[in-house]
Amino acid sequence: MQPAIRVLTGVGGLEPQVLQPAELTPRPAEPARVRVASLTLDPGGSYRPPTGACQDVLLLVREGELRVVGAGIAPASAPGTLYPGDAVRFAAEADGLVQNLGDRQARSVVAFVRAEGAGEPSLTEPGPTEPGDMACEAEPEDRDPLRRELRVASVRTTPALDDHGGALRARVLLHADGARRGGLSLLEGDPGLVVAEHRHAEAAEVLFVERGGGALTVAGRSVRLAPGAAAYVPADALHAFVADPGEPFVAVRVFIPSGPEDPSRGG
């Protein structure tokens, strides 16, 4: 059975929404552990990421500013501010909150990532583990007082990793050092970028396209991607990508679990 290419579209609103996947090939044997959406908050709007023991939520601000609180991010007594290009990971504490206190809309890309064996992600509240599954593994205790798990990152302080002869630049914002269930990167590619056929043996991949487009081929099946679409590539599936000429390619990439997003870390 061939792996699936599943094309998702993010729809703005106070609650993130994702249209039903368009199945181009049979579904993978295991449920997808990720959903991706575009979240738009109007002025005065707020959003509580649906995290839990089995689900993390990764958020990357693209437009506007947001006030944020949550464990490992900012305490309620001293909220932090997220600007375009800032990324945060909300985890099991389920105490995260983002608010738009500005006078214009704020837009973010949101990834909902589940633990292995815990079923498909929920966009409103974490779903239960599947019957018979063990409880989700707790995050390991950090015994090094000089090292904190990764919860916050920014494109402004994250150097780009060049790939494909410099035609593709990846800013790895959330990676395996702390964000084990999902790694998030911002990709910027030259017009006509060619990514040769390859596979990620132990991680699925999602591309959420923001600018430009191109042709994604998975296991011999091709689909055209345009801004606002996301494509899901199952783990160990051979895939390749060719960007359209004439316009740079910009996308948010999520690996589930994290690892392949940063080769320098052994992924």
Given this model, what pLDDT does residue 258 score? 81
What CA–CA distances, in Å, run from 111 to 50, 74, 132, 182?
11, 20, 26, 8
Question: CA dihedral defined by 53, 8, 187, 248, rounded to 10 degrees?
Answer: -170
Count of positions (residues) in the chain: 267
What CA–CA distances, in Å, run from 189 to 40, 108, 160?
25, 20, 11
- Structure tokens belonging to residue 214: 């191109």
Given this model, what pLDDT does residue 32 score? 76
Given this model, what pLDDT does residue 17 score? 40
Nearest-angstrom CA–CA distance, 266 and 38: 30
Nearest-angstrom CA–CA distance, 51 and 121: 10
DSSP track, 11-22: E-SSS-EEPPPE
Q: 36-55, pLDDT tens digit by residue?
A: 888 888 899 999 999 988 99
Work out the angle at residue 217's Cα, subtended by the Cα atoms of residues 4 and 26, and round it to the nearest 5 degrees.
15
Nearest to 261 by CA among 158, 192, 191, 167: 158
Given this model, what pLDDT does residue 231 score? 86
Nearest-angstrom CA–CA distance, 255 and 81: 26
Domains of the chain in start order, with CATH, are 20-127 (2.60.120.10), 153-265 (2.60.120.10)
Q: Are 251 and 193 in contact (CB under 8 A)?
A: no
Given this model, what pLDDT does residue 249 score? 96
Residues of the chain with pLDDT under 70: 1-31, 126-135, 137-149, 261-267
Nearest-angstrom CA–CA distance, 181 and 200: 15
Q: What SS3 state is found at 102?
A: coil
